[in-house]
Structures are given as C-alpha cells and as structure tokens.
Amino acid sequence: MVTRRQEPTATAFAVGLIAGGALCLVAATAGAQSAGDSTTAPADATRLQPITVTATRNPLDPFSFPGMVTVLDGPEIQDRQPSSPDDILSLIPGIEFTGGPRRTGEAPSIRGFDGADVIVTIDGARQNFGSVHDGRFFVDPSLLKRVEVLRGPASSLYGSGGTGGLIAFQTLDATDLLAPGESAGMKVSGGYQSVNSERISILTTYAAPRDGMNVVASISKRDSGTIRLGNGNDLEDTDDDIVASLAKASLKSVDHHRFEASAISFRNDAREPNDGQERFGRDLAANGLVRKDVRSTTLSAAYHYDNPEDRLVDLDVVAYRTSFRLDELRLEDVSGGPAGELLRRDVDTLGLRIDNRSRVALSEAARVTLTYGGEYWRDSQDGGDGGTRMGRPDANAGERHGVPDAEARFTGLFAQAEVMVSGPFGAESGDLLMIPGARYDSYRISSSSRLGPDNERSELSPKLGVSWLPSEQSVVFANYAHAFRAPTVDEIYLTGTHFPLFRGPGELVGFNRFEPSPGLRPQTTRTVEVGAGITFNDVLAERDQLQIKATHFRIWGEDFIDLAIRQAFPVPGDCLPFVSDQARVPVGAPGMFRHGCEGAASSTNVPEARLQGTEIDAIYESGRLRMTLGYSSVDGENATTGGKLGLLAPDQLTIDAAFRLPRHDSLIGWRLLLADRFDRVNDPADVRPGYAVHDLYLSWRPSDPPLDGLGVDLGIDNAFDKAYSRVDTASVEPGRSFKVAVGYSMAW
C-alpha cells in the first residue's frame, strides 16, 4: 500500500520563511557594508565556482554541466570543522548519511540509492568495502583538500555502482599549503569536541624542494568516548581510537610528464556492538559488544601527460590497491557466538584506469573534446570466524556467516564527446553543449568456496546530456542516461546465520538463515533529468553574484536488488525448533503436520521501481558574505506492489551563511538543516517527525606578525540540543557539541 504523502508542516514553512528572511536581511547588510566600507575586498574577491573534473573526466564549469554536481574545496571543508565525512557532505542536496551516530557505521546515500549504488573514490581509487552493518569507506577529514559529488547516473564513465552517483575525494598536496616563494612548511593543530569528549591532534609537513617536486606527510589521532544524544541520554559503547596518515609525493618534468604516488591509511580501534548501526535498536541477546579493529589502506600511483600544445594527447593512468580489514572480537556470550570468538572480513581491490582526452576544432564555431579509455578492477573478499586473539584466527576457523569467500572482476571501455557549439541555430550569442557517451562493462563473480555457480553478465550504459546556454548567466539542460549496478558477492553467495529466533525470554528456537542467490541479475536504471540555472551579478552590491540551479529527475528501474526475509513474527508457539519453515514434519495422527520455526533471507530482484525527486542549489557570494542554500526531495516505490522502495529521506532545506570580517581576520557563520516530517515508509514505526538543527561557527586567521600562521576555529553543533532521528536508524542523533581547534603553521 502506498503511504499518502503528508504536506510539509506549518512549522517547517514558518521556520523556512524566518530563515529566508534572516538571510535576505544579512545579505542586504552585507551589501550595504560592501558598498560603504573602505575595507571591502577587491574586485576579484567574488569566488567563482570551482571547476569539476569528475563529472566528465574533463575540466568543466559545474554551472554548464547538464546535471547536478557539487565541489567543496579546502576552506569550505575546514570551516565545517569535520570529524567525519558526514560533517562535510551532510548539507549537499540529495545526500543523506545513515547508520547512526557511531563513526564506524556512517554510510552515504544519493537520491535514494545507498551501498554499492554509490561510487566512492579517494585519489581515483575505488573504495569497494561493503558491509550491511558498517560504513562504506573510512578516511579522516584532516587529510582532504577537495570533494566532488555527482548526483545522478554515472555508469557511462564509471561503470557499475553509478546508479546513485559518485563521491570523489582528493587528498592534500604541498602546492595547496605553500605560498609562492616558499619551499617547505609544517602545521601543528589540536582540537576538542564536547559531545563525545573527542581530542584531536594533527601534524602535517610539506615541501617543494625543487621545481616540479612536491611531498606531503600528515598524521592525525582522534580519541573519543561516550556520545551524548539530543534527548539527554548517553549512547554507550562508542569509544573510538583513530590514527590516520597520508604520505604523498609528485614529480613534474619540464616535458609535461607528471608522476604521483600516495599512501593513505586509517585505523580505528573501537569498542561497540557488533552491529554498530543498530538500525532496529539494541538486541542484547544477539548484538553483543565487540572490540572492532577497522583498517583501511589505499595505495595509488598515477601518471599524467598534459602538454598544452598537444591537442590529441592528455593522458591519465591510475593504478591502485585498496585494502579493508575488519576484525571483531566478541566480548560477550551471545546467541551468535561465544566471548573470545574472532570475526573477520577482508576486502581487497586492485584497479587500473587509463583515459585520454583529444581536443579537435570542427569549425570556427564548434569544438569537441573526446574522452575515452578503459578500466579494470578486481574485488576479493575473505571472511572467517573462530579464534581468540585479534588478527590471529585459530586453525579451526571457518567461513564467517554472511561473509562469503568470493571474487568479482570488472572490465570496462568508455567513450564520450563534449561538443561545444557557439552561436547555435544562427543565434548571435550563446552556446550549445552536447555530451553523448557510452560505456561497455562485463563482469564475472565467483565463489572460491563453491557456494554456487559464477554470475557473469555484460551491460551497456549510454548517456546523452545537453546544455543550452543562451548567455554566460543562464542555462537550460536535460539528460537521459542508463546506469547499472552488479550484485555484490555478499548478495549472491549469502550463507549462514542471519539472526536468532526466540519464542520467549531466553528460549532460542532457531535462526533465520541466509540462502545464496547465484542467478541474481544486475539492477538497471533509466533516468530523465531536466533543469535550469541562472546567475545574477551586482545583486545587492558591486561584484557580488547570485547563482541558482534546479533540477527534477525521474528514474525507472528494473531488477532492483533487495533482501527478501521469510520469517513469521512473532515466532509461532507450535513451530518445531531448529527446523526449516518449509519442512512439513508428520506429528500425531496421520495427515497431521507441523512446520519448523526457521525462516530464510535471500537477495532478490524487484521487477520494477520508480523514483523521482527535485533538487535546488543556490549560492550568493560577495566580498563579505558567502551563502549557500539547498533543497532536496526524493520518493520511490515498488512499481509492482506500490510499497516504498529505496533509502528515502525527508524533504530537506539546508542553509550555510558565512560572514567575513576582514578587519578582524575572522569569519562567523550559521548552518541550518531543516527536515520535514518523514512518512514515506512501509512500516509506521519508521515515521520520523520533522526537525531543525542549527550550527554556529567562527574562525580567526591573523594575517599580521607575530600571529600570522595561527588559526583558531570555534563551533557549536546542534546549538539548541535538538533531539531528532534520521531515517534507517533507531538512535537519536548527537546533542549539542562545543568544538574548538587551534593550529599553527609555518613555512620557509
């Protein structure tokens, strides 16, 4: 049954109007001050939108791109004082982080797609870790200089997993930290946040010993404890001890060759429940405490050739290896296993990507950039249970339930053309951008434990995007794209225990068990997206800019992959313990039968699905004020049953306003996350009330000696201590948190 959508609450509209009015007032004040204050920033102070390089694998203005892409650079990341990727990305329309307050469980979704439907890369290396009850990727925000988020289908360039979109992180470079004329430097910083008593220490060193050579090394440590929630309660068993590091070097020769190598590591020693996300609450009988050792390592080597005089060769080659290891040592006896048992999951990815750009002038009015290349990667997973010491399973350790030993190999070839025509259709001005492209992928998934036959298929993912720019200040765009996501090794070869079954307090009568699905098909989508954008200059003051871009999308999906659970709840009183519910066991008189208690869970393909949504991005920039506003709405349903489908989120409005005080070398800001009541659910227990969460922040960067190089950041997250819950989690989110960070950098 389709749940009737509720209209936005009056409170939500009222808060939105108040927030909008406040922003207009602040903007007007900023405009007046910019016009009348002699300290107003110079003419070039209005920052242009950063260029995106992931949306088309070719530098492009996000405003011109026929779709929605967001780019956050270093200052914006730093202003958010992030302790996890959620803090960086949570204000981007269409993105939702779920998994609860624990850092190890955070996982992103884009436009209702989550898990393997969202591609995540760090310095071009795929992060393909997958676990139902843990996060998708692990990286410390202190190592990042930039993140790009492509919302919408990305399979035409990136292959499997591009149904929801792409999140691409880039790590620090020495060139981002050194000013002209400087050859080396270092930065030391420390911080604290009150909500979980987290202490942070960071040391970064960087150098450019000669022209074309850059090296950077950074290490950070975070130590945190119990999380205080917005309802005043404490979320116990949330201890984190994180050490993250980056080592990176690059060399550029005079003949336009550039080589780069990097090593990124993350290790979290945590004490928490086995299912740290606790989507359905804490089941003490099944979800006991564990000591979690989360390790992630990304090694990459890249080569780039870029000669401005060579229009045919602009070559990128990236080779990488990512390794994830999750060890969980049981600290309690539970139905799933005894204290001292070690659970292990290892995921290893090897990949290679080669792409080139050739630029050709078709005429005086038309030019084309051809992007083409190939990609290969291999995922291998190994799981085990048994053992008594972290990292040292005993000789009798077996395969871990729900973590099959398996391998997946992917090969892809892609080609894309960016055709820019000036003065199209006889017009005296304006441009027409057309981006047709396609990618062919083949994959093979196999189990080394012979849990089922190989799963082999191929997919073609075409795309056509068109942007018409009547002027530099306006754009109308549309795109049509196919995308796909291959089933994961877990989805195909699921085996073992899912969860225990109790008929009464302490009466264990069996388990719901996983069953393999070797014939699982890839899920595919067709997306149509239309939108428009406009830019206004000199709105409230000279040299300011207001840019608005909006889109509406509709997605038709086939063979969506979902987990089907067959289980009677509550457990029948007359079922036979430890017997399948598919069995008919004769009992008593002839013709009398009883069924077992144990049900099953297996991956299945949902024949048809539909999703639709709307997103709005707005940015105002002046010498004094930078303000961003975002709106997102997404809905999805099973087209066969009418039930809700996808990881849906409430309608959300986000605002981030930062006011610069140049005389005081300071910036003061306010963030708002406003969510409407969420009722796009199949189970009434999943309904969430609306909420408004406010953050405040201030940064001080003295520019005059002797304090130049000093940086102080203050913040209050959830300033009004709001108790609220996100979708797909049973826990309330963290409450009010006071944050402080102090750093000092020097260069010579």
Element (DSSP H or E) covering residue 89? helix 85-89
CA angle 263-264-266, nearest 5°? 145
CA distance 240 to 217: 23
Residue 286: predicted pLDDT:
60
Residue 221: predicted pLDDT:
97
Question: Which of 743, 650, 591 has the alpha carbon at shortest distance from 6?
Answer: 650
Residue 93: predicted pLDDT:
96
Q: Is CATH 2.40.170.20 what the domain over 10-747 is classified as, yes or no?
A: yes
Between strands 68-73 and 474-485, the pairing is: unpaired
Between strands 652-661 and 600-621, the pairing is: unpaired
CA angle 358-364-366, nearest 5°? 50
- Cis amide linkage into residue 393, ω under 30° from 0: no
Beta pairing partners, 549: 533, 617
> Max Cα separation, the chain?
99
610-656 pLDDT, tens digit per residue, is: 999 999 999 999 989 999 999 999 999 999 899 998 889 999 999 99
Beta pairing partners, 410: 377, 443
Residue 494: predicted pLDDT:
86
Residue 22: predicted pLDDT:
40
Each domain of the chain, given as residue ranges in start order, spans: 10-747
Question: Which of 244, 344, 339 has the alpha carbon at shortest distance from 292?
Answer: 344
Residue 111: predicted pLDDT:
96
* CA distances for 217 relative to 125, 144, 214, 608, angstroms: 19, 12, 11, 49
Residue 583: predicted pLDDT:
87
Residue 30: predicted pLDDT:
45
Residue 198: predicted pLDDT:
97
Residue 11: predicted pLDDT:
37
Residues of the chain where predicted confidence (pLDDT) is lower than 70: 1-49, 278-286, 335-336, 386-398
Residue 285: predicted pLDDT:
54
Question: Which of 472, 481, 479, 473 has the alpha carbon at shortest distance from 434?
Answer: 479
Read off the pTM.
0.90
Residue 169: predicted pLDDT:
96
- 481 Cβ contact list (under 8 Å, min separation 6): 152, 153, 155, 156, 461, 462, 463, 464, 465, 526, 527, 529
CA angle 242-713-102, nearest 5°? 35
Go through 504-515 and write b for each residue having 16 or more CB atoms within 10 A of its CB, e for each that does not: eeeebbbbbbbe
* Helix (H/G/I), strand (E/B), else coil: 424: helix
Residue 398: predicted pLDDT:
67
For residue 326, which amino acid is it? L
Q: What's the DSSP call for residue 284?
A: T
Residue 7: predicted pLDDT:
36
* Helix (H/G/I), strand (E/B), else coil: 601: strand
Beta pairing partners, 436: 464
